[in-house]
Amino acid sequence: MDPVATVLAREFPERRVATTARVPNGNHKRTAVATFADGGEVVVQTAADAAALALEAALSRAVRERTTIPVPRVLASGAVDGFGYVVAARAAGDELHERFVSLDSATQRRVARSFGVGLGQLHEAFSFGGYGRLRRSASGRLRADGGDASDSPTDRGFDAVSAADADWEAWFSAYVREGIAALPPAFDGVRSRLEEVAAAVSLPANPPSNLYPWDFRPGNALVADGRVTAVLDWGQPMAAAPGLAVAKVEHLVADWYVEDGAPLRRAFRAGYESVRPLPSVPRAYRVAAVVRSAVDSTGEVTRPGYPERTGTAAVDFHLTRLDALL
């Protein structure tokens, strides 16, 4: 049986499904919108990695509870027939990725500010004692890799991680080098300079560790009436110094869609500072933000803007940003 049909039959045995429509995006998850005969709609996501999808569902629930970020309500999650699934309420709005460039400048700034507010709230709500990819402990709480199971929980049921042997500079250097290694030959002209940045990193020995939402960006949001109505993708979360997340989200909000990102950058920072002080953002974090945004999880060069840049134009976009930083 089709995985989506299996999930719907399991979670909604009394409701008749009228239609299902696949959503053609995502590298690791399959997404479909199901419409019931009574007119209701839900979004069904399935993935072979059930544990990763369960982690995403747990984080989605927590973000919805602990921030004002509009996250669709998770209705059900679980595993069946060897795959994981999440069922969520269908959110209203158009894809912000497609709409951003058509918004007037004031609305673009309002959207940018909302991302700053959201990231500030995430950093206030989620803190950890170590760095790296998050995982769920045996209790179902979120932890950063390397944590001791005896660590005491932080507020509202999330574990703090005191990875005494964790070294932020070493973790960050490895993170940058992994991104450099994934760049295709078109980036060979800057590769040596990028490696110099990774080798010469000098960072605080023990910065705070907060949620690093991997894909917190307009491309994973919906918009209606000039406001963000949903942020949809909470997969592959990490714990890292807050300045790294600021660098990456700011790049994806302020640089991705417009030629002059300065007004959006100011709006984003003002939004963040309305929640908490802006953290230190060394140049190395900004370099890492561009490197880790230039290639997707399948090794393909990402396509900035809308209409999306492709081929040489996409590569040139990333190289221009890197040249400005190097």
- Which CATH number covers residue 29? 3.30.200.20
Asked if 176 and 284 touch (Cβ cutoff 8 Å), the reply is yes
Query: Do 153 and 180 fall into the same domain?
Result: yes
Count the Cβ atoms, other than its own, within 10 Å of residue 58: 21
Query: Do 130 and 206 fall into the same domain?
Result: yes
- Position 51 in a domain: yes
Number of structural domains in the chain:
2
Q: Which of 156, 119, 131, 130 is nearest to 141 (CA)?
A: 156
- Position 52 in a domain: yes
Query: Do 158 and 253 fall into the same domain?
Result: yes
Query: Do 278 and 158 fall into the same domain?
Result: yes
Q: What is the pLDDT of residues 51-93, one digit of tens each?
A: 899 999 999 999 999 999 999 999 999 999 889 999 999 999 9
Question: So what's the pLDDT on residue 170?
Answer: 85
Query: Do 67 and 128 fall into the same domain?
Result: no
Domain that holds residue 256: 94-324
Question: So what's the pLDDT on residue 109?
Answer: 98
- Which CATH number covers residue 253? 3.90.1200.10
pTM of the predicted structure, to 2 decimals? 0.91
Q: What is the pLDDT of residues 242-258, one digit of tens each?
A: 999 999 999 999 999 99
- Position 11 in a domain: no
- Position 9 in a domain: no
> How many residues does this entry show for the chain?
326
Question: So what's the pLDDT on residue 204?
Answer: 78
Query: Do 263 and 200 fall into the same domain?
Result: yes
Q: Give the distance from CA 162 to its chain's centroid.
A: 24
